[in-house]
Amino acid sequence: MPQLHIRSAQRDDVALILGFIRELAEYEKLSDQVVADPVQMAEHLFGSRPFAEVLIGEVDGAAAGFALFFHNYSTFLGKPGIYLEDLYVRSSARGTGLGKALLGKLASLAIERGCGRLEWSVLDWNEPAIGFYQRLGAEPLGDWTVYRLTGPALHDLSQT
């Protein structure tokens, strides 16, 4: 049985985190969209005002996955929540329980912090991930569509 360990990321993990992000983007066929800068990421994750947190998952002492998350807020619940932006486990570590351990740690943090929910998005074609999440008891929110503003559209709206 592999030895699993979940730890909070530190500033010196930025290169590792960016490596995981690139691997995830390759898996999701989105490599061309990764433009993250290590200096900026270090400031955003570990600076005076962190915007997100990262958990590093290790299998037998070797980093094998990560979860990047941040807090949101539910006006209906009147409580904070945790939004999981990225969860990734290297293919060599899949089936070890690391993904479940990372999500379990996030669920623990949500409860400790008084959060009302833990949520995330998954690509429609990612059947292995969808099956994994459903086996954990997660339910899709079929009534919601995600919208995003980025690039010129974001800039244009900011000028109104």
Would you please indicate which residues are annotated as catalytic (active-site) residues?
Answer: 133
Q: Give the C-alpha separation, 52 to 18, whole Å.
A: 14
Closest CA to 13 of 50, 62, 54: 54
DSSP the chain: ---EEEEE--GGGHHHHHHHHHHHHHHTT-GGG----HHHHHHHHHSSS---EEEEEEETTEEEEEEEEEEEEETTTTEEEEEEEEEEE-GGGTTTTHHHHHHHHHHHHHHHTT-S-EEE---TT-HHHHHHHHHTT----TT-------HHHHHHHHT-
